[in-house]
A and B are shown apart, each in its own frame.
Chain A
Amino acid sequence: MSRRAALLAVEILAPVGLLTAWWFLSLDTTSPFFPPLRTMLRTFWETWTWDRIQQDVFPSVVNFSLGYVIAAVVGIAIGVFFGLNRIARRATEPTVDFLRSIPAPAIISVFIIVLGFEDTMKITAIAFASTFPILLNTIDGVRGVDQQQLEMARAYKLRRQDEIFKIILPAASPQIFAGLRISLAVALAVMAFSEMFAGTDGLGFFIIFSQATYRVNEMYAGIFMLGILGYTVNLIFLATERRILRWHRGWRASELGAQGGG
């Protein structure tokens, strides 16, 4: 018990200590690249006014969300289809493997050619790159569905849509969520890259523009903001996953087991 308390204390005190040390050690720094923490935080506070958030953070969040939702719908739909159709899956496997191996930045050139520099291009790029983890995990999840359950469904002459929505999707949901979680990081990275590379607004653009004009404090303010965005999105995701998968025994067991072992 005392060890647990001490570990908890370390977990809380270490970051606090780190921040304090950073604060005091950086007070008198003259490094042009690593300004004092005090200045960074003040700039962060002054930069992110409500107007500024609307101007530079909202476009990013909107593109991110739209791209991600499209990826989820497309990835799960195709994933269920491929999961149930072995021939279709095998026939397209090399193509899918190839497409997902193209480094995401390289594919952005294609979307720029086809869609220009508009938001549609960014949303498409985000959706494209984040589809693959969801797709592959869904295929895997669907293939892992208990065959007896499926036979039972057929024996009871369940309609195809009931079979998919009531049996296959729930059974595959832990895997689907695993894919959705990875795609979260992918979508965030492609969002930032698309704005840095071809943007006139958004967080990525703000960060690279601040760097190009040597406003180092603003640059860090942008990066902090991106960190907060990523952290928040992750928290929302985990909360949703917990709500939706609460019933799932395998998921609960792994979660509880991991807590006990950790």
Chain B
Amino acid sequence: MGTELTTTNEIAAGSAAQVEARRPGEVKPAVKRAGRGWAVPVVGTIVILLVTEAAIRSGLIDTRFLPAPSTIFRALIDESRTAVFWASVRDTLKGWAYGLGLAVLLAVPIGIMVGSSAWLYRATRFVVDFIRPIPSIAILPVFMLVFGIGPSLKVYIATLAAFSPLFFQTMYGVQDVDPVARDTARAYRLNGLMRFVFVSLPGSTPYIATGLRLSASIALLLVVGTEMVVGLQGLGNLIIRAQYALDLPRMYALIVTSGLLGIAIAWLFTRMERRTLRWHASQVKETAI
């Protein structure tokens, strides 16, 4: 069950291309490699933008719903000249970073503990399974009561949201450590701490990296969502204000900004994840075959 879920998560969060990178053992036919260049995606994206532009200019799509891409782009340029925009981006990123950092500090040690003890794992399984499907956003009202409404609220909500993928990935990672390595360490009578530092931690690093990538995206989602619901300063709040003012080009420009942040974060953490994978035992083994 554990391993199955892990791959599930990986595939979910990675694009098709990212998922490919997770299976270096597979031999790919040369034909598939041929189309690797930049040309097709770049041309494709330009065509999509031009078609959308044309559809809006010709009145096929109502500008009350979707402004032309060029209009959105111009609004984005205008927006990037204002101080409020950058302050909001900074606020959103700050909440995201603190939330994610706190989640790492909590989830990784707890995940390692639960993952390395069959007793703890079984004792917590039911409670964890029950809490798991509750969306983090539904806990927002509780946090509003407990922590009050302020900038720290989005930090705690981001922590809550980022906790779950990190915790599960860490736990699966520890449970999935190569049994031979584990037994060898035991045979050499390495103590608990040494086993943790030299066996469990390196063995589960790729899993933790995957968890981190998933958590990073979810944390951003919850920070923006909290800013929207509660009205805290940040990108989410700017979007809402543009929406209420029916200033569509600006609203879309801000949504595009949030998408760009999302892409940047995903890209960054995917790279980190690949780095941890390069030296991981499972990869070495697979490429050796």
Contacts and interface: CB of A to CB of B under 8 A. Distances in A.
A139 B1 contact: no
B130 A103 contact: no
Contact of A139 (B16, B66, B221, B259): B16
Interface residues of A, number: 78
Nearest to A209: B141
Given A98-B259, A102-B255, A109-B251, A254 B35 contact: no
Interface in B121-163: 122-127, 129-142, 144-146
B68 to A, nearest CB: 15
Interface stretch (B37-45, B104-112, B273-281): B37-45
Contact of B130 (A10, A86, A227, A254): A227
A18 B130 CA distance: 14
Nearest to A34: B146
B65 A102 contact: no
Contact of A136 (B15, B118, B134, B228): B15
B2 A193 contact: no
A118 interface: no
Interface in B28-59: 29, 32, 35, 40-45, 47-48
A106 B239 contact: yes
Interface stretch (B6-14, B73-81, B185-193, B203-211): B6-14
B119 A258 contact: no
Given A94-B41, A188-B133, A223-B139, A197 B122 contact: no
Interface in B253-269: 254-256, 258-260, 262-263, 266
Contacts of B242: 109
A101 interface: yes
A216 B263 CA distance: 38
Interface in A56-113: 86-87, 89-99, 101-110, 112-113
Contacts of A189: 135-137
Contact of B225 (A175, A193, A233): A193
A46 interface: no
A192 interface: yes
B122 A219 contact: no
B240 interface: yes
Interface residues on B, range: 35 or more
A86 B40 CA distance: 10
Contact of B126 (A15, A110, A204, A223): A15
Contacts of B44: 90-95
Contact of A179 (B11, B17, B42, B236): B11
B255 to A, nearest CB: 5
Interface string B213-257: 000010011001100110000011001101100101001101110
B287 interface: no
A231 interface: yes
Nearest to A212: B141
Contacts of A216: 145
Contact of A104 (B1, B47, B221): B221
Interface string A135-167: 011011001000100000000000000000000
A252 B17 CA distance: 26
A105 B144 contact: no
A136 B141 contact: no
A196 B45 contact: no
B31 to A, nearest CB: 9
B1 A258 contact: yes
A91 B43 contact: yes
Contact of B138 (A92, A98, A223): A223
Given A103-B220, A192-B138, A109 B243 contact: yes
Nearest to A196: B229
B17 A93 contact: yes
A15 B236 contact: no
Nearest to B10: A178
Instruction: Among B12, B125, B146, B255, find the residue whose CB has the most chain A CB atoms closer than 10 A.
Output: B12
B183 interface: no
Contact of A178 (B11, B32, B122, B225): B11
Contacts of A90: 35, 40-41, 44
Interface of A: 7-8, 10-11, 14-15, 18, 32-33, 86-87, 89-99, 101-110, 112-114, 133, 136-137, 139-140, 143, 147, 175, 178-179, 181-182, 185, 188-189, 192-193, 196-197, 204, 207-208, 210-211, 216, 219-220, 222-223, 226-227, 229-231, 233-234, 254-255, 257-259, 261-262
7 contacts: A91-B40, A106-B224, A109-B243, A193-B137, A223-B141, A227-B134, A258-B4
Given A95-B45, A102-B259, 9 more contacts: A10-B119, A15-B126, A103-B262, A113-B64, A140-B11, A178-B11, A179-B12, A196-B229, A226-B138
6 residue pairs, one from A and one from B, having the closest CB atoms? A91-B44, A230-B133, A101-B262, A211-B141, A14-B123, A189-B135
